[in-house]
Structure 1
Amino acid sequence: MTDDDPLGRAEDSTLVVRAADGDVPSFAVLARRHGPLMRVYAEQMLGSNVESDDVVQESFLTGWRRLSDLDTPAHFRPWMMQIVTRKAIDRLRRRRHHDDIDGYERPADPAQSPERIVEARLQLDAMWAALDRLPADQRRCWLLRETAGYSYQEISEALELPVSTVRGLLARARQFLLREMEAWR
């Protein structure tokens, strides 16, 4: 695709309308435009490159199939981020029940001590456990803000909540997580 390609310059809403009518190149532009953010977000949630690629691919397939369900074409990115979030959470839930630690452990980097690796893993586990104890809306707001870099307005649109509610949910989530992670300071 060149710089003077009209699809590359088109707004998301235009591309979504075209893709909903079956225009595959328009959907491909959307995937190239938003895929990197979704991959980073999924990788942060899952802690795995391989799984994040799978989650993003599954999310785009779901998005393609359900594109006609999107009421506001301009909200494509938040809508897709919701799909990625749900798919990543589903992966985490499946992993929790079937995880074989030996199958996922990578060899230790010689520059890092085993003690530091264990400590970081325990801290991460404690963080995920604390996130699991958050109410769902607070957890979603925190993940979108802290890992995907969403603004309050974008979170508001993605979760269909007023901005003031998003601010309150984030404040409560941060207070809770600070208390829960106090021992790791």
Structure 2
Amino acid sequence: MSDSGLPDDPDGDRTSDPSPADDGAESRNPLEEAADATLASRAMDGDTHAFEVLARRHGPLMRVYSAKLLNSDIESDDVVQEAFLTGWRQIDQLDSPAHVRNWMMRIVTRKAIDRIRVRRTHDDIDDWDPPAPAETSPERVVIARLQMDAVWDALDKLPSDQRRCWLLRETAGYSYQEIGDSLGLPLSTVRGLLSRARRFLLTEMEAWR
């Protein structure tokens, strides 16, 4: 595992072994545009570059989500790195490459739950066991996990521009102007895309309200 939290290549003779001298820049460009399913399939075959792209693509969202569960940015970084390690080691257990994002989110959720349990154990002094805060109780965390799965399923149904706008706004905190600059879209288009995405997600998530 490198300092960035991405897995080191366990077999030094693999051509995918990343190094500054690697002249495979041309081969990395298509990976950045590849679908999650393609990247996951390649990662299952031992391609570390493909897994690194997945980690870069979904890592920010994993950090935002785990930080909300843990109420700690520092712990969130640790949890996401642990999730990357587990994901790399268990990538062969992935049932459907197309669902790799949900799979990785479930891993980071389990890691966050484990961290919350450790906190509670360390906080138990002289057999004093106060109830966990409502927002970090195991029951609430499980509900949050199920709700997150439902959100991802709903997001997958959105057109790509709506999904990107929503993710940049709601998970990364981008302003409308920053979203437009990032995606090369007029401000009025960003507003329209976000409005349609929110209406759709409100309908899809009605059962969770």
Q: Same fold (TM over 0.5)?
A: yes
Partner of 1:75: 99
Q: Where has structure 1 moved over 6 Å in runs of 4 or more? A: none
Q: 2:45 aligns with which of 21, 30, 35?
A: 21
Provide the rounded CA distance (Å) in 2 between the counterparts of 1:27 and 1:140. Answer: 23
| Structure 2 unpaired stretches of 5+ | 1-24, 125-131, 157-204
5 Å matches for 1:1-185? 5-99=29-123, 126-128=133-135, 132=138, 136=142, 138-142=143-147, 144=148, 150-151=151-152, 153=154, 168=207, 170-171=208-209
Looking at both structures, which has the greater relative contact order when contacts are Cα pairs under 8 Å and sequence separation is at least 6? 1
Partner of 2:184: none
Q: What secondary structure is seen at the aligned counterpart in 1 of 2:68?
A: helix
1:7-34 deviation digits (Å, cap 9, x = unpaired): 1000011111111111111110000000
Offset of residue 128 of structure 1: 1.9
Partner of 2:161: none
Provide the rounded CA distance (Å) in 2 between the counterparts of 1:68 and 1:52. Answer: 25
% identical equivalent positions:
51
> Between Structure 1 and Structure 2, how many residues are aligned?
132
TM-score (structure 2 length as normaliser): 0.54
Instruction: Name the CA shift for 1:151/1:58 in 2 (closer, same or farther; >3 Å).
Output: closer
| Structure 1 unpaired stretches of 5+ | 101-124, 156-165, 172-185
Provide the rounded CA distance (Å) in 2 between the counterparts of 1:9 and 1:134. Answer: 36
Instruction: Name the CA shift for 1:48/1:134 in 2 (closer, same or farther; >3 Å).
Output: closer
Pick the structure with more helix per residue: 1
Residue identity opposite 1:128 in structure 2: E
Offset of residue 45 of structure 1: 0.5
C-alpha RMSD of matched pairs (Å): 3.3
Are the counterparts in 1 of residues 113 and 138 from structure 2 also a CA contact under 8 Å? no
